[in-house]
Chains A and B, each alone.
Chain A
């Protein structure tokens, strides 16, 4: 299953990662104008290294994406931390928009 860590936190951004048998998964979250910016990086011990970046306009869309991610089963602690950190950033975004 591996280990999950929250490596950096600020009012604007979060960095999280988890290390496992197959390699490392990293997330970077940042609140931006119009929503939440997310980077997902996967660094396998062997094979293709990938990074995806996407901007979500609403929390529901992000939650769905997050729940479909294989980390939900491979790194459950990271999955929980990711949703918790995103919730905090969404609250900040919503507070600033209202």
Chain B
């Protein structure tokens, strides 16, 4: 399954992901990692799941990009059994071990199989900060049964390392973007911390020695900066991105 010395190569790739300054560099490292793992193709998907719906999805494609267009055009994300697996599990598995009974799910898998994922391994990545931001490294091979062999146990460690580092890189990037683009200040974080602890405007106002209407106005401005409709979601976003401890 994996080439000799692959552990060293995977570790080297993972270490460089942490230090990567931009997404193009991370993309190149993902490509290097995929080849070091012995796979032909890969997709790294990072998504936000609000209840049953996805609200944002980022794909890093080391495969035929037209697959992704067809996938999105057909609304496959709503029925994707591999994403559903990643949303509720953290254990890497061979995709063939996942029973998919519904027709829509089978169509999603057939599309992947036709585009370089004849055999696939699913490697979810979760963070302790929140439960709705999830990533999935999906590795593919054009050889059927490639990921079903006995070597999967050793392979999965390397794949897990790459997936975890990619997931952490995304979180760090989003955190940086929030701080820089939304200009989140220490005072904003203090407000979000109160909200996260369930404090009312009245209580926050008393603790900060300002009026209740001033607190409400500050929350409104911050919600606009963060692009969320209310303060509850603002605090949740801050937790998801690691700005606040969950």
Q: What is the CA–CA distance of A33 and B23 in the complex, to the nearest angstrom?
A: 14
Q: Decide if A52 touches B61 in the complex (CB within 8 Å).
A: yes
**Interface residue count on the A side (C-beta < 8 Å):** 17
Q: Which residue of A lies closest to B58 (CB)?
A: A51
Q: Which of A3-50 contact B (CB under 8 A)?
A: 30, 32-34, 37, 39, 48-50
Take A32-B28, A33-B28, A39-B23 as given contacts and tell me if A54 and B58 are in contact as well, using a CB distance cutoff of 8 Å: no
Dominant SS at the B interface?
helix
Q: Which of B66-92 contact A (CB under 8 A)?
A: 66, 68-69, 72, 77
Q: Decide if A52 touches B65 in the complex (CB within 8 Å).
A: yes
Q: Decide if B28 touches A51 in the complex (CB within 8 Å).
A: no
- Size class of the contact patch on chain B: 20 to 34
Q: What is the CA–CA distance of A52 and B46 in the complex, to the nearest angstrom?
A: 11
Contacts of A30 in B (CB 8 A): 24
Taking a contact as CB atoms closer than 8 A, the residue among A34, A37, A49, A52 that contacts B55 in the complex is A49
Q: Which of B26-47 contact A (CB under 8 A)?
A: 27-28, 31
| Residue positions of B touching A, CB distance < 8 A | 23-24, 27-28, 31, 54-62, 65-66, 68-69, 72, 77
20 contacts across the A-B interface (CB closer than 8 A): A32-B28, A33-B28, A37-B24, A37-B27, A48-B56, A48-B57, A48-B72, A49-B56, A49-B57, A50-B72, A52-B61, A53-B23, A53-B24, A53-B27, A53-B58, A54-B61, A55-B28, A55-B31, A65-B65, A69-B69
| Residue positions of A touching B, CB distance < 8 A | 30, 32-34, 37, 39, 48-55, 65, 68-69
